[in-house]
């Protein structure tokens, strides 16, 4: 649906007649710049890494990430024995930043290329291994 010249998904609850606008607004699909293409590869956590000995579901000490491209989107694969795993697709917003689309939990996150060449995502800093 178009609302104030922006495109959203409109949800209407039939019982209450309440209306909500869901999803992110439609954005221009920017091509992936060379700065991001240079970041393709495998990554691991860097710096001081907390090991959760009492709750292994949240032990992120083994977390690994892979940055690549799929269908014109920046793709981040995160693998771990913990609960933190998955594949995420980002919209490019600049030469150094990309945003995860959507509305709700785990959406709107930003991945950044740091000045030192590492990646920053979800509070974690990753360094390239390959």
* Tens-digit pLDDT profile for residues 22-62: 554 555 668 899 999 999 999 999 977 767 677 666 677 78
Question: How many residues does this entry show for the chain?
Answer: 130
Sequence ranges of the domains in the chain: 28-128
pLDDT at 62: 83
- Per-residue pLDDT for 92 more than 70? yes
Percent of the chain with pLDDT over 90: 33
Query: Whole-number mean pLDDT of the chain?
Result: 79
- Per-residue pLDDT for 15 more than 70? no
pTM higher than 0.85: no
* Tens-digit pLDDT profile for residues 96-125: 999 887 666 666 788 999 999 999 998 889
Q: How confident is the model at residue 13 (pLDDT cuts 50, 70, 90)?
A: low
User: For the domain with range 28-128, which CATH number is right: 1.20.120, 2.40.128, 3.40.50, 1.10.3470?
Assistant: 2.40.128
Q: How far apart are CA 45 and CA 3, in angstroms?
A: 42
* Tens-digit pLDDT profile for residues 52-82: 677 666 677 788 999 999 988 999 999 987 7
């Amino acid at each position: 649906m178009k609302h104030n010249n922006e495109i959203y998904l409109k949800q209407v609850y039939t019982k209450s007649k309440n209306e909500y606008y869901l999803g992110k607004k439609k954005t221009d699909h920017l091509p992936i710049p060379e700065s991001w293409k240079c970041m393709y590869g495998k990554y691991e956590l860097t710096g001081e890494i907390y090991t959760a000995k009492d709750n292994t579901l949240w032990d992120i000490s083994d977390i690994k990430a892979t940055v690549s491209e799929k269908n014109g989107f920046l793709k981040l694969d995160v693998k771990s024995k913990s609960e933190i795993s998955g594949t995420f697709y980002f919209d490019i917003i600049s030469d150094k930043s990309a945003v995860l689309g959507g509305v709700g939990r785990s959406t709107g996150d930003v991945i950044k290329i740091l000045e030192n060449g590492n990646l920053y995502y979800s509070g974690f800093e990753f360094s390239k291994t390959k």
